[in-house]
Amino acid sequence: MTRTKKTGMTTRGGRLAVVGALGLAAVTLAAGPAFAKGTVDITAPPTAQVGKTIAVTAHGGDDSAGFLHQLCVEENGFGEGWHQETCSAVGKGEVRVTAQGTAARRGDLQFRAVLYGLTSAHDQHPVRLHASDVATVHVR
């Protein structure tokens, strides 16, 4: 008895099955849920003098439907823990805020911006959507 190699329909059928599975996976991933995208950026000077004005600006937004946005600048320094310095007005789309203040002593101040989502202009329970990286100001 002689052996013959099968290369006809079996190989083509296997290839077709693999290509079909990859196509189905691509369609499934493309039809999956879309996640909201948002960013928050903060800028602060790297150093500041004691008694001089420090200006920190932040901007951010999120494309989540149904939310109004409010952006707040928070400060951490001199053992006080994180606390809000100022917040922007409630708005749709991208929001901006600027915080200005002076440092009375030497040390490091840390700032971050936090974007909140609100269901109405007077929402008492905002949802924290995004936070920026921490910006450190060395006060000399």
Where in the chain are the domains? 38-139
- Residue 58 CA to residue 64 CA, distance in Å, equals 19
For β-strands 83-87 and 38-43, DSSP reports them as unpaired
pLDDT of residue 4: 60
pLDDT of residue 66: 75
User: Global pTM?
Assistant: 0.71
> Is the separation of the CB atoms in 38 and 127 below 8 Å?
no
pLDDT above 70 for 89 = yes
Beta partners for residue 101, in sequence order: 54
Class of domain 38-139: mainly beta
**For the segment 1-57, what is each residue's pLDDT rounded down to a tens digit?**
566 665 555 566 666 566 666 555 554 444 445 555 889 999 999 999 999 999 999
**For the segment 91-130, what is each residue's pLDDT rounded down to a tens digit?**
988 999 999 999 989 999 999 999 999 999 889 999 999 9
pLDDT above 50 for 88 = yes
pLDDT of residue 32: 44
